[in-house]
Structure 1
Amino acid sequence: MFDPDQYPNHLGPGGGFGPVADDGYGVSYMIAGENTIFFHVSSKFSSSETMADSDPGERNYDNMLKMLSDLNKDLEKLLEEMEKISVQATWMAYDMVVMRTNPTLAESMRRLEDAFLNCKEEMEKNWQELLSETTRKQ
């Protein structure tokens, strides 16, 4: 099996896809190993509703670089939280294996599901906050 951590130079950023709606964005991502995530964001120049600009000379690259830096920091925080929750879920799964003949298995399953739902809720909340913050900066 190919290990992207051993051969990072053999990774391609993958592909992207265009926006579904004329006034929207196309967004895709690819997790390429422990420390690499590729993002693709696209929009149509023809829409006044998006940040697309047909004249790149008018763009404020410093602001874009800061936004990317902020996004990177936010993603790092989210990944750290995901790692913590993943470790907790792993320990819960281990507990389930150890206790599989125990009548309290249902309680362990509930705890594992709660951990997953908490992780999902945290990710959705942080993603919405990130989108709101990005919108406010514009």
Structure 2
Amino acid sequence: MAEKSEKQEHNDRRIDYVEFNVADIAAAKAFYGSAFGWRFTDYGPNYCEFDDGRLKGGFTDFGPVRPGGPLVVVYARDLEEVLTSVEKAGGTICRPITDFPGGRRFHFLDRDGYELAVWASA
């Protein structure tokens, strides 16, 4: 457990994860598995994590497909502190802090309207 904690400590305020909203999780797995050899871990019917061997991310059907790009997720040791920092920098919170299996997260819009998320482990 200490190894995971040290890794997360090292990754504070860095891009940690990328999420794709997809229309069909099974089809996304088939495509990325075939094209790139990615590995997958299912977390229920609406979420699947991918692992490309260097970076992990996810496929979800919880939100609309965003052809403009995936959701970039940043890790934070202290979620509330980073939320305050985002607001002070001019970001707009578009999804308040919510729990999910393994942690908590919030979403924000930057000054150009790009949506990002920030998460912290449970």
**Fold similarity call, TM over 0.5:** no
TM-score by length of 1: 0.20
Q: Which has the higher strand share?
A: 2
Which of the pair is proportionally richer in helix? 1
From the CA coordinates, give the structure whose radius of gyration is larger. 1
Between 1 and 2, higher relative CO (CA 8 Å, sep ≥ 6) is seen in 2
**TM-score, scaled relative to structure 2:** 0.21
